[in-house]
Amino acid sequence: MKILSILLIFLSVNTFAQSFSEQIAKHRESYKQDFVKDNYAPLKENDLQDLHFYDADSTFRILADVEILKNQKVFKMPTYDGTSKEFYRYAKINFSLNGKTVTMTLYKSMALAGNPAYKDLLFLPFTDETNNKETYGGGRYIDLSSKAIANNKIEIDFNKAYNPYCAYSDGYRCPVPPEENDLQLEIKAGEMNYTGEKKHKK
């Protein structure tokens, strides 16, 4: 019976790892196809071969505690083209990752808040110690939904971290991740450096 129990545990863990990898693979395929469908996107189908990702790793999918912030003032988040975009701080999140306690801020875009299609969208820009080495120097983003918050918790999956358009081309207004989301650890999950030639938007 003991051997059978160990075997069943092994099989269930293996099945989870496989299904998680498949889930992330589907997410990434959809992510790539979004470039092809969007005429505004900087990459075309023949550029997709130059997109690279870390292997799916479920240790980078965490459940964070959420503290909704009240009465937050709108502020201008700088962008890499020297302009800015208006956001406000929506919530603080806290979690433990690789033995470190991490605090980050979720933001809401003022420009998108009035659009019914994006009214629940939350923006999580961040930098970490892989930047300028294995990942884009300007940091990465994760998109979340306020509807995903339940019992003051939200799932954060760094496997879904993606590069801003500025990683591929100039001419885009990509927000610079605020210092409060500068992580003092390596996030070896999500999108890596783009290896294609940087484009110039006409």
Task: Please report, rounded to a whole number, the percentage of residues in the chain having pLDDT higher than 70.
Answer: 91
Residue 168 CB neighbours (<10 A): 22
- H or E segment to which residue 26 belongs: helix 2-37
pTM score, whole prediction: 0.90
Residues in contact with 114: Cβ distance below 8 Å, sequence separation at least 6, in sequence order: none
Measured CA angle at 185 (ends 156, 139), to 5 deg: 70
The pair of three-digit structure tokens given for residue 28, joined into one six-digit string: 């990434």
Closest by alpha carbon to 58, among 28, 18, 94, 26?
18
Q: What is the pLDDT along the chain (202 residues), one digit of tens a residue?
A: 455 555 445 445 455 556 999 999 999 999 999 999 998 899 999 999 999 999 999 999 999 999 999 999 999 999 999 999 999 999 999 999 999 999 999 999 999 988 998 999 999 999 999 999 999 999 999 999 999 999 999 999 999 999 999 999 999 999 999 999 999 999 999 999 999 999 987 6
**Residue 119: what pLDDT?**
92
**Residue 114: what pLDDT?**
87
